[in-house]
């Protein structure tokens, strides 16, 4: 059966290093560090006192006062990034068939801020009458997808994915499959997260997952570095517009890249630790390459999951070497999390955008803070400065707690 081809015609980003795709890309290329002390709550009692917050995001620049009170920040980030993606795509919403235009938009956690504040309110007053009628729609993880669909009147497939750090990549993969099978022509997809809150930081601290370098927080997100000691939490949203190729061409769309293959696997091993040797990651990358009809030698850039945790970075490196063999040393790998922190359910969204931009600009952003390389991590990670590279096809990896692996393969668009 002839597969329908799927292309990217729009993107939008809200990140700790810039709001808007241009600001985000300029910050990536310049090695800008998005990590700072937490301002969203008093973190003085916490083992980790820093994170990568979105800066200069004023909801009143985008929303009416009433709707700000009725939406959690994760939904606000999603709506702002979706709006940029739609504007970027130049799609005429009055002319498109909205019954064939869908939304799959995920969040790893959903409305953590809403959950906390309403929970605190109840325990302060011991009165269920104090709970907001908007609490549930602010909290549940599918409401970003729902709100985007309502705002633009999009009536195609509409739901959320939740698979921890692989959430946004799964949303993009699902959207890809829905277009391929002919159930939609256009999809908005991605992920959003706003989990820099007491319960999240406290919870990740309890499981010893976060870096605790409070005296050196600017250096704390250091993927593939020997001194790494945990990830740094980030927040934000990343959105792609995927479109069936002929639909895009017929409306004269500017095609940014082609999403040519996806690989989805499970470790079936442990709730938080990756499978030994990155076995699940090997298979997800391999499946994505086969799905795209390419060979391992066609890939020369990987936007790594690269979390700056002791386990992930070694396992991902082993996985790349296992699959690519000697060619692994010709691949430029990088971790944009060194700058943005780890956006959990939104990571795959902003990292897919970074991968597409790397292809467009033929430039791999740096992995910052990589000053003391781990001898077990011996690939080219574009350390400290960007690497010019002739990129034809690239993979974006995301791996989530629960053993969820997703690899997205983007390539330069050719007729």
Write down the catalytic residue from 170, 247, 301, 342: 342
Write out the two tokens for 179: 């277009």
Write down the catalytic residue from 170, 247, 305, 404: 305
271 within 8 A of 402, measured Cβ to Cβ: yes
Positive/negative CA dihedral, 303, 304, 305, 310: negative
Q: Is 189 a catalytic residue?
A: no
Write down the catalytic residue from 88, 165, 189, 377: 165
Instruction: Name, in order, each residue with C-beta under 8 angstroms of 276's C-beta and a sequence gap of 6 or more.
Output: 269, 315
Q: Is 301 a catalytic residue?
A: no
Pairing between β-strand 101-106 and β-strand 186-193 as defined by DSSP bridges:
parallel
Q: Is 327 a catalytic residue?
A: no
Mapping DSSP onto H, E and C, the string for the chain reads CCCCCEEEEEEEEEECCEECHHHHHHHHHCCCCCCEECCCCCCCCCCCCEEECCCCCCHHHCCCHHHHHCCCHHHHHHHHHHHHHHHHHCCCCCCCCHHHEEEEEECCCCCHHHHHHHHHHHHHHCCHHHCCCCHHHHHCCCHHHHHHHHHHCCCCCEECCCECECHHHHHHHHHHHHHHCCCCCEEEEEEEECCCCHHHHHHHHHCCCECCCHHHHHHCCCCCECCCCCECEECEEEEEEEEEHHHHHHCCCCCCEEEEEEEEEECCCCCCCCCHHHHHHHHHHHHHHHHCCCCHHHEEEEECCCCCCHHHHHHHHHHHHHHHHHHHHHCEEECCHHHHCECHHHHHHHHHHHHHHHHHHCEECCECCCCCECCCCCCECCECCCEECCCCEEEEEEEECCCEEEEEEEECCCC
Indicate which residues carry an active-site annotation: 165, 305, 342
């Amino acid at each position: 059966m002839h597969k329908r081809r799927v292309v990217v015609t729009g993107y939008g980003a809200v990140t700790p290093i810039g709001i808007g795709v241009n600001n985000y890309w300029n910050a990536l290329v310049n090695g800008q560090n998005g990590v700072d002390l937490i301002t969203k709550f008093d973190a003085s009692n916490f083992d980790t006192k820093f994170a990568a917050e979105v800066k200069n995001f004023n909801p009143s620049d985008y929303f009416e006062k009433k709707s700000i009170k009725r939406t959690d920040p994760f939904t606000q980030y999603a709506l702002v990034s979706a709006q940029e993606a739609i504007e970027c795509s130049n799609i005429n919403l009055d002319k498109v068939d909205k019954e064939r235009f869908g939304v799959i938009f995920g969040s790893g956690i959903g409305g953590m801020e809403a959950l906390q504040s309403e929970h605190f309110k109840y325990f302060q007053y011991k009165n269920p009458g104090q709970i907001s009628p908007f609490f549930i729609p602010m909290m549940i993880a599918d409401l970003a997808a729902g709100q985007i669909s309502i705002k633009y009147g999009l009536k195609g497939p509409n739901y959320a994915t939740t698979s921890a750090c692989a959430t946004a990549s799964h949303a993009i993969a699902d959207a890809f499959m829905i277009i391929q099978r002919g159930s939609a022509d256009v999809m908005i997809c991605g992920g959003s997260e706003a989990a820099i809150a007491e319960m999240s930081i406290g919870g990740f601290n309890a499981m010893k997952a976060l870096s605790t370098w409070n005296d050196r927080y600017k250096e704390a997100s250091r993927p593939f570095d020997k001194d790494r000691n945990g990830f740094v939490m980030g927040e934000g949203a990343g959105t792609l517009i995927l479109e069936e190729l002929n639909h895009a061409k017929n409306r004269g769309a500017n095609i940014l890249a082609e999403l040519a293959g996806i690989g989805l696997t499970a470790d079936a091993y442990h709730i938080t630790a990756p499978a030994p040797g990155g076995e699940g990651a090997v298979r997800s990358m391999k499946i994505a390459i086969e799905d795209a009809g390419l060979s391992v030698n066609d890939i020369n850039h990987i936007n790594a999951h690269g979390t700056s945790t002791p386990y992930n970075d070694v396992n991902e490196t082993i996985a790349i070497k296992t699959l690519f063999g000697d060619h692994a040393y010709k691949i430029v790998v990088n971790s944009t999390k060194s700058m943005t922190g780890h956006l959990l359910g939104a990571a795959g969204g902003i990292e897919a955008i970074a991968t597409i931009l790397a292809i467009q600009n033929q430039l791999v952003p740096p992995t910052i803070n990589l000053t003391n390389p781990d001898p077990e991590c011996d690939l080219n990670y574009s350390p400290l400065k960007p690497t010019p590279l002739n990129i034809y096809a690239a993979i974006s990896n995301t791996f989530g707690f629960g053993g969820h692996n997703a690899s997205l393969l983007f390539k330069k668009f050719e007729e």
